[in-house]
Amino acid sequence: FGTVDTWLLYRLTGGKVHATDPSNASRTLLFNLHTLSWDEELLQVLGIPSAMLPEVRPSAGDFGETLPGLLGEALPIRGVLGDQQAALFGQAALGAGEGKCTYGTGAFLLLHTGKRPVLSRKGLLATVAWSLGDRASYALEGSVFMAGAVVGWLKDLGLVQESAQVEALAREVADTGGVYLVPAFTGLGAPYWDPYARGAILGLTRGTGKAHLARAALEGVAFQVADVVRAMEEEAGLLLKELRVDGGMAQNPLFLEIQADLLGVPVLRPKVTETTALGAALMAGVGAGALGLEEVKGAWTLEARFDPRMPEEKRKALHGGWRRAVERALGWAREEG
């Protein structure tokens, strides 16, 4: 029994290792974030024998060796990390208050909260980021359901032929002309968690064109991310000084300019944007004793920086309009009592 990493380790080592690390164990909801061990009370409630569960080892450490001949000679396995935690490590967000956002089909934010878990009341997920020896680092995670999928929707509508054309189309106008697009096509994730919310376009006028819709779509993703960041800052008591980004939408400079403006903090894109793979590799380097945390920080290199240029008053006004738009989208699909 275990998570995907447990199965991979078991197969790679020929059944010799049945283990996981705290970042993956914490996603089973059977793991105690405070004691860094399986929670006996939860196991009893759910009727799960503790003998079934994998051994929890530090994220950087000894996870055995691969079977000889499987990948050539036997290779040591020295690091295990969950997906988003590996991206956080690959972005070298190693200190409290540092964070990253991965823009895939959805958007996934992690804020490093230091040596303590922050238990959220706003629908954010407290998780172990990683453990080195007997010391764990923690993070808050927030999920946005629709990010790159919004660009795909514009393509499906025929507004663009290719996803890469969205930036050029959106640049045809200086702003959205007062249009807001709430991309709640499958409900809204953090911090709203409303499965009954539905997509909405508000503020349309006779002068609204395709370019306004394209720009409003990009803003709709950026607004959602800003909502999650504000919730994280409030609950963790930390201020995000910069946001490190990766994923498909991170290749769109206009979108990152919009994200920086709506957040009010710089947005940084690294040269290596496959940060999950990079983070797993770096953790293995730490586990093998080949790297220290300073070397991990040094492995991160900046490709592009996007500084906010929007005045604070305008940012607040736009957020006010966004909140009004979200209020109209919330609960839309709920059946009337």
161-209 pLDDT per residue, tens: 988 899 999 999 999 999 999 999 999 999 999 999 999 999 999 999 9
d(CA 235, CA 249): 27
d(CA 326, CA 293): 41
Q: Is the pLDDT of residue 239 over 50?
A: yes
Structure tokens at 152: 């795909």
Domain range list for the chain:
1-80, 83-337
Structure tokens at 123: 């629908």
Q: Topology of 83-337 in CATH?
A: Nucleotidyltransferase; domain 5 (3.30.420)
257-304 pLDDT per residue, tens: 999 999 999 999 999 989 999 999 999 999 999 999 999 999 999 999
Grade residue 335 by pLDDT with cuts at 50, 70 and 90: low
pTM here? 0.93
d(CA 6, CA 55): 9
Strands (E), 225-307: 243-247, 267-270, 302-306
Judge contact between 246 and 275, C-beta under 8 A.
yes
* pLDDT for the residue 25: 96
Q: Which residues pair with 127 in a beta bridge?
A: 139
Grade residue 336 by pLDDT with cuts at 50, 70 and 90: low
d(CA 66, CA 73): 8
197-208 pLDDT per residue, tens: 999 999 999 999
Q: Is the pLDDT of residue 102 over 80?
A: yes
Q: Which residues 6+ apart lie within 8 Å of 2 measured at CB?
A: 10, 18, 20, 53, 54
